Amino acid sequence: MKLLVIEDSARLRRSLGHGLRRMGYAVDLVEDGREGLDYARFNDYGVIILDLMLPGIDGLTVLQRLRELGRKTHILILSAKDRVEDRVRGLELGADDYMVKPFAFEELCARVASLARRRHNQKSPVIAIGPVTVKSAARVVEVGGNPLPLTPAEYSVLQLLALKRGKVVSKERLLDEIHDSESFAGTNVIEVLICHLRKKLAAAGVLGIIHTRRGHGYLVES
Amino acid sequence: MNPHLPSIRSQMTLRVLAGTAVLLVASSSFLGILFHQRIVEEYDDALETRADALISVLSLDKEVLDFDFNEDAMPEFAAPEPEDKDEDSDEVSFFEMLLPDRTSLRKSPSLAEHTLPWSTGAPPEPDEPILWNSRLPNGRPGRLLQVEFTPELEDADEEEEPPEIPGEDVDHVLLPDHANLDKLRVVLIVGRSREDLNETLALMYASLAVLVVVVLGGIAVVLRRALASGFQPVDDLNAQLKAIGPDSLQDRIGLEAPRQELATVESAVNQLLGRLSAGFERERRFSSNVAHELRTPVSELRSACEVGGRWPDDPKEVRALFEDIHAVGVHMEKIVEMLLTLARCENGAMPVECERVELAPLLRACWQRVEDEAAYKGITVDLKTTGGLFTISDPSKLQVILQNLVDNAVGHGAPNSVIRCSATQSGSSPVIRIANQPEELDREDLPYLFERCWQKNAARPDRQRAGLGLSIARALGDLLGIRIEPKLEDDGTFVVQLILTGVET
């Protein structure tokens, strides 16, 4: 899943970017509100992490403009403003969640995962596909109760296919899920990842879960 | 309200009542003594009158004393009737006539076989009576008079005997042989009960005591009401002060019945509340500002630590996170140092060492330190200083003030603008003027400019400023006696003027 972090603190941007990428997300990092609004308008993000006090355009204005443009991206406000009226204002303007700085990185990840599930109308953090279980809260995959070692990118691809099980997901959509906006990787990266996934699943005794639809993309049966 | 504290109302009541009681007791005692003496004197006068009457009916006729005593004319000396013995015994009087050697000559019928006590005291004047209290023969307290006198001689030339009143016989008292007829002296002792006198005196004292108690009681009641009425504005003030809390500092005291004595208190309390309210508001803003100022670096630290700790396998990234942690530490250290500097200034713990300081080199040095930042923003600095311009100040602290103002001018100056700085002599004081074009500043921001951690825009890409520079400049300025006056001109130019201490030539 691709995330957009709009945060004016360079140091916080750096640690968040590193952490979230290591969690398997594709992350775009933006410093000011105006640039953040442009990124949000022209990209499809799973979740936007938005600071409120931003140079250029403040966070609430970014939020308001995005909702006015009809963007339904889940937005999590991450701000030092802790007053009730600030939180209420943010949520009233269309934010899906609000976190006050300083925060626990674990909690931020859990909230991002929760928003990501909501995007796919998936309430449970556990998705079962036959013997394969995708646990989105811990970002792990298990086969028959045993963990399947996956890279963050492999996990992200499998998770998206699981969330959209029964539907064909295009290579471009999968690529968009694992790479940020500044990446120039081609769709063959997805083919390689799918190949690795099938091999790891086969090694664990699971065959034929991921199906190829030539010219369209990939599918996991529901 | 602390019930253990003394109450002005109670103290005043007690003191007024105690003072009044002392005055009343003193005055009533004085009156009591005066009346006592007067009553006793009148009593004694009556006794003397009786004695005079008895003396007047005694005369010496050759060798015999004629005692022309009429019991009907002086019924008080009559022997009491047996049935009236108890009732009238207090009205019974006694007399006894004796020779100085205590030879009894005559007694009143009321005395019967008894004798009256003899006073051995000396009279204040010859022929003056001695008056004293003693027990009467009938056992009652009595008042006695003893007087020694020379009986009047019967007129020898008087040929005609005075006509005798029918039923009245003259008593001829035979004198003993040893009586010296030439210098005959007779002692008369007259006594009467003093029970009625004692009763009169007791009534008088009781009346005075009751008067004192009633007057004191009346004063207590009047005083209580007067104090309750007089202290009403104080009670009102107390109630209003008690109702003031941290959330109602905007309220002001307004007495329903203003009093001259409380006008100063009311005004002072209202002014104090105004200052307190402003101080509270400033503290709230400071707490909020400093919390925000610290939240972001703390978030940076926490996030860097958590991410670095969770994925320590990427040395390059971990190193970068450590560098961030170090930078945050340095930034927070700077904030703490600045807050400590402010605290030291406010506590008077900042030593000041003044000397003669030339302003031009100091200003040039300050501007040199921000050259790069100014150039980066395209800001031009127009510095005009007059050579030989001196002030008396602490050079290191003056430099901190100037550097903060210069940093502020560049940091908040609009890109590609001009900052004009001048140092001139105005009257006896050197004046430094720094004018810049701020990116965003309104007239209503001016009161907050020197507040700790106040920032017009909390979102800053550099995160280097903590909003403490101007606060430190103001605090140090106060310490050095430098007036710092901010002004926003109509064209949006922000001017800070420093008025320094001049050097006497």
Instruction: Please write the tens of the pLDDT for every residue from B241-257.
Output: 888 887 787 888 888 88
Largest CA distance in chain A: 54
Whole-angstrom Cα distance, residue B305 to residue B296?
14
Q: What is the pLDDT of residue B84?
A: 57
Please name the amino acid found at residue B436: N
- Contact A32/B461, CB-based, under 8 Å? yes
Q: What is the pLDDT of residue B463?
A: 55
A18 to B310: CB separation less than 8 angstroms, yes or no: no
- d(CA A22, CA B221) in angstroms, rounded, equals 88
Indicate the number of domains in chain B.
3
Contacts of B314 in chain A (CB under 8 A): 18
- Name the 3-class secondary structure at A49: strand
Closest residue of B to A51, CA-based?
B459
pLDDT over threshold 80, residue B81: no
Query: Which residue would you say has higher pLDDT here, A104 or B121?
Result: A104
Residue numbers in A near B289 (CB within 8 A): none
Coil, strand, or helix at residue B426?
strand
Q: Do A8 and B460 touch (CB under 8 A)?
A: yes
Q: Would you state the pLDDT for residue B123?
A: 83
Nearest to A105 among B298, B306, B320 (CB): B306
Q: Side chain identity at B481, as an amino acid letter? A: G
In chain B, residues with a C-beta closer than 8 Å to the C-beta of A11 are 300, 304, 324, 327-328
The reply to whether B227 falls in a domain is no
Task: Tell me the sheet residues that pair with B380.
Answer: B418
Q: How far is B308 from chain A (nearest CA, A)?
A: 8
pLDDT for residue B19: 93
Q: B246 with B280: CB under 8 angstroms?
A: yes
- Do residues B181 and B325 share a domain? no
Q: Locate the chain A residue with the closest alpha carbon to B324.
A: A11
Q: Is residue B505 part of a domain?
A: no
Q: Identify each DSSP E strand in B288-436 by its residue range.
A: 355-358, 380-385, 390-393, 418-426, 429-436
* Domain end marker among B293, B322, B345: B345
Residue B87 has pLDDT above 70, yes or no: no
Question: Omega before B258 cis (within 30°)?
Answer: no
At B315, which CATH number? 1.10.287.130
Domain match, B111 and B182 both? yes
- Which residues of chain B are within 8 Å of residue A106 when distances are taken between CB atoms? 306
Tell whether A19 is within 8 A of chain B (Cβ).
Answer: yes
The CATH number of the domain where B420 resides is what? 3.30.565.10
Of A11, A100, A105, the CB nearest to B328: A11
- Best mean pLDDT range from A8-17, B156-165, B269-278: A8-17
Is residue B72 domain-shared with residue B182, that is, in the same domain?
yes
DSSP label of B90: G
Cα–Cα distance for residue pair A138/A158, rounded to 1 Å: 14
User: Which is more confidently placed, A137 or B12?
Assistant: B12
DSSP element (H, E) containing B148: strand B141-149
Mean pLDDT of B213-221: 92
Give the side-chain half-sphere CA count within 13 A for B84: 11
B227-234 mean pLDDT: 88
CATH code for the structural domain at A2-119? 3.40.50.2300
**Chain A residue at shortest CA distance from B458:** A53
Long-range contacts of the stretch B28-37 (C-beta < 8 A, 24+):
B28/B208, B28/B209, B28/B211, B28/B212, B31/B208, B32/B204, B32/B205, B32/B208, B35/B204, B36/B201, B36/B204
Question: In whole angstroms, what is the distance from residue A148 CA to residue B497 CA?
Answer: 70
Q: Are A134 and A197 a contacting pair, CB within 8 Å?
A: no
Distance CA A156, CA A176 (A): 11
Task: Flag whether residue A96 sits within 8 Å of chain B, measured between CB atoms.
Answer: no
Question: Has residue B213 been placed in a domain?
Answer: no
Of A15, A31, A82, the CB nearest to B307: A15
pLDDT confidence of residue A50? 96
Domain annotation covers residue B423: yes
pLDDT given at position A179: 76
Cβ neighbours, 10 Å, residue B265: 16
Q: Is B299 in contact with A104 (Cβ distance < 8 A)?
A: no
Q: How does A92-110 read in b/e, with b if 16+ C-beta sit within 10 Å?
A: ebebbbbbbbbbebeebbe
Q: What is the pLDDT of residue A173?
A: 83
Task: Say what the pLDDT of residue B168 is.
Answer: 54
- Does residue B29 form part of some domain? yes
How distant is the Cα of B290 from the closest Cα of chain A, in angstroms? 11
List the pLDDT tens digit at each of the 222 positions of chain A: 889 999 988 999 999 999 998 888 889 999 989 999 999 998 889 899 999 988 888 999 999 999 999 998 999 999 988 889 999 999 999 999 999 999 999 999 999 988 988 887 777 888 888 889 988 877 889 988 889 998 888 888 888 888 888 889 888 888 877 777 666 777 788 888 899 999 999 898 888 888 888 888 898 877
Judging contacts by C-beta atoms under 8 Å, the chain B residues touching residue A16 are 303, 307
**Above 70 in pLDDT, residue B169?**
no
* CA neighbor of A49 nearest in space, from A59, A35, A57: A59
**pLDDT 10s digits, B419-436:** 899 888 888 888 999 998
Closest C-alpha to B449, from B471, B427, B431, B430: B471
* Partner-chain contact A106 B302, CB within 8 Å: no
Kindly state the DSSP code that residue B178 receives in the 8-state scheme. Answer: T
Say which residue the tokens 């940076």 belong to: B300
Task: Give the pair of three-digit tokens for residue B495.
Answer: 């001017």
Look at residue B126 in the predicted model and tell me its pLDDT.
Answer: 80
**B335 and B446 share one domain:** no
Q: Name every chain B residue with its beta carbon within 8 A of the beta carbon of A101.
A: 295-296, 298-299
B301 with B387, same domain?
no
What SS3 state is found at A143? strand
Chain-wide mean pLDDT for chain B?
85
Closest approach of chain B CAs to the CA of A15, in angstroms? 5
Cβ contact B304–A58 (<8 Å): no
Distance (Å, rounded) from C-alpha B330 to C-alpha B343?
20
Question: Do A11 and B298 make contact, defined as CB atoms within 8 angstroms?
Answer: no
Question: Are B25 and B56 found together in one domain?
Answer: yes
For position A221, what pLDDT does the model report?
A: 79
Q: Which residues of B touch A (CB under 8 A)?
A: 291-292, 295-296, 298-304, 306-308, 310-311, 314, 317, 320-321, 324, 327-328, 457-461, 463
Burial of B439 from C-beta contacts in 10 A (0-12 / 13-18 / 19+): middle
CB contact under 8 A, A105 and B310: yes
| Residue found by looking up tokens 């430094």 in the block | B432
Mean pLDDT across the stretch B182-210? 91
Q: Do the Cβ atoms of B292 and A80 come within 8 Å?
A: yes
Reduced 3-state DSSP string for B290-320: HHHHHHHHHHHHHHHHHHHHHCCCCHHHHHH
B440 interaction partners in chain A (CB closer than 8 Å): none
Any domain includes B412:
yes
Average pLDDT over every residue of B372-383: 88
The phi and psi torsions of B192 (rounded to 5 degrees) equal: -145, 160
- The answer to whether A32 contacts chain B (CB < 8 Å) is yes
State yes or no: pLDDT of B202 exceeds 90: yes
Best A20, A101, A108 member to test B by mutation, with max B CBs in 10 Å, is A101
Q: For B286-338, write each residue's pLDDT tens digit.
A: 777 777 778 888 999 999 999 999 999 888 989 999 999 998 888 888 888 88
Question: CB-hemisphere CA count at 13 Å for B132?
Answer: 15
Q: From the centroid of its chain, how far is CA B243?
A: 25
Confidence of residue B45 (pLDDT cuts 50, 70, 90): very high
CA distance B389 to chain A (A): 41
pLDDT above 70 (res B171): yes
0.90 exceeded by the pTM?
no
Q: Is there a single domain that holds both residue B182 and residue B79?
A: yes
Give the residue on B whose Cα is nearest the Cα of A15.
Answer: B304
pLDDT tens readout for residues B340-366: 888 888 777 788 888 888 888 888 898
Side by side, which strands form the sheet with A126-129? A126-129, A132-135, A140-143, A146-148
Apex B58 CA angle, B69 and B155, nearest 5: 125
Q: What is the pLDDT of residue B112?
A: 85
pLDDT of B161 reads: 55
- Do B419 and B270 lie in a common domain? no
Same domain, B323 and B359: no
pLDDT confidence bin for B504, thresholds 50/70/90: low
Domains A2-119 and A126-220 share a fold: no
A107 in reach of chain B (CB within 8 A): no
Query: Which pLDDT tens digit goes with each residue over B282-300?
Result: 787 777 777 777 888 899 9
Question: Are B274 and B381 in the same domain?
Answer: no
Separation in Å, CA of B360 to nearest CA in chain A: 36
B103 assigned to some structural domain: yes
Q: B331 with B437, same domain?
A: no
Domain positions in chain A:
2-119, 126-220
pLDDT at B335: 83
B21 & B129 share domain: yes
- Is pLDDT of B383 > 80? yes
Using a 10 angstrom Cβ sphere, with 0-12 exposed, 13-18 middle and 19 or more buried, the burial of residue A120 is middle
What is the Cβ-side half-sphere exposure of residue A77, based on CA atoms within 13 angstroms?
Answer: 28
Range of the domain at B379: 351-499
CATH tag, A126-220: 1.10.10.10
Calculate the dihedral angle through the C-alpha atoms of B285, B288, B291, B296, rounding to the nearest 10 degrees: -110
The complex's ipTM? 0.78
Task: Encode B472-504: b = buried (16+ Cβ within 10 Å), e = exposed.
Answer: bbbbbbebbebebebebeeeebbebbbbbbbbe
